[in-house]
Amino acid sequence: LVPVTHFVLPRHVRLPNLPPSLTATSHTGTFRRRFPPPYNFRALSDPVTAGLGGFDVIGDGGSMLQDAGATALVIAGAYALISTFDFLSERKLIEQNLSRKLVHILSGLLFMASWPIFSASRWARYFASVVPFTNCLRLVIHGLSLATDEGLIKSVTREGNPDELLRGPLYYVLVLILSAVLFWRESPVGVISLAMMCGGDGIADIVGRRFGSTKIPYNKQKSWAGSLSMFVLGFLVSVGMLYYFSSLGYFHLDWVSTVERVAAVSFIATIVESLPITGTVDDNISVPLVSMVVASLAFGY
């Protein structure tokens, strides 16, 4: 017998007295069978479930409007973030490299944090991807010196050389696009990979440059302090972002095994970041891609 609450609760709510493979869908009054995945989370946010914590309040036309508005808002946010760090480094309130690393940490994490303001539509992830895509165009245009934007160059490059825009920053925004399109807010895999690239890799530089006097034996460019801080912050940011998305109802996690799996991903990503391969493959490629592979194996897609 199906309790009446099944029809009034938000769609994503998984009722405790149902078998794990059943999810209530309130708009039709029916139940959608989902095959339980072979891992410890249940994705709850596809077109069936809704954005903003599960309520699809405005229908298809409204979804497009919501996504267009969200895209505009996040593009403005990205512009404001870069301008703020340009202002701070211009005024010498923070050094250029710290500005670059704070942009590295904040832009991807804030981008990911903005995903719940997009609708439940299947197109929402593509609307969201427009944000890194516009930044990708911006990097290519300025990287090729087709236009000049001193603010962008100051807040995003190491030495103020436009060429640099076509390396680390460009790979970074491409990874944001890949993660949004492939994983979106429905899988822990993308969330963890971005947390490792943004939080983990970003803090390794900030801490390593300041406190990294003891170098790693196999890589004199990297330090124990940098790598340890990457492991700890990558882990904490991953768990924090997973908690954020799961508390909004996008997936359910078993926290004990999640913590173990995230620790394993953080450990392997940290090892990869510490290897003397930076000249061959950029950290903004190796760290998120390895995290994606390991998190996919640990959690399933």
Ligand X SMILES: Nc1ccn([C@@H]2O[C@H](COP(=O)(O)OP(=O)(O)OP(=O)(O)O)[C@@H](O)[C@H]2O)c(=O)n1
Ligand Y SMILES: C/C(=C\CO)CCC[C@H](C)CCC[C@H](C)CCCC(C)C
Chain residues binding ligand Y by CB under 6 A are: 74, 77-78, 81, 100, 103-104, 107, 110-111, 114, 131-132, 135, 139, 156, 168-169, 172-173, 176, 284
Of 147, 154, 238, the closest CA to residue 191 belongs to: 238
Q: How far, rounded to the nearest angstrom, does the alpha carbon of residue 205 sit from its chain's CA centroid?
A: 19
- Helix (H) or strand (E) holding 23, with range, is strand 22-25
Report the partner that residue 132 touches, choosing among ligand Y, ligand X, none (CB closer than 5 to 8 A by kind): ligand Y
Measured from the CB of residue 168, what is the shortest distance to ligand X in angstroms? Answer: 4
Residue with smaller CB distance to ligand Y, 33 or 158: 158
Q: Minimum distance from CB of 289 to ligand Y (Å)?
A: 15
CB of 30 to ligand Y, least distance (A): 37
User: Cβ 169 to ligand Y, closest distance in Å?
Assistant: 4
Q: How far is the CB of 276 from ligand X (least distance, A)?
A: 10
Cβ-based neighbours of 232, under 8 Å, separated by 6 or more: none
The one among 43, 183, 283, 287 contacting ligand X by CB under 6 A? 283
Token pair of 42, please?
């249940």
Using CB under 6 A as the binding rule, whether residue 288 contacts ligand X is answered as: no
Separation of alpha carbons 235 and 200, rounded Å? 8
The answer to whether 96 touches 31, Cβ cutoff 8 Å, is no
Tell me the C-alpha distance between 111 and 131, whole Å.
Answer: 8
Q: What is the DSSP letter of 106?
A: H
Based on the shown chain and the rule CB under 6 A, indicate whether residue 67 belongs to the binding site for ligand X: no
> How far, in Å, CA of 133 to CA of 240, rounded?
26
Residues lying near ligand X in the complex (CB under 6 A) are found at: 168, 204-205, 208-209, 212, 221-223, 226-227, 230, 273-274, 278, 283
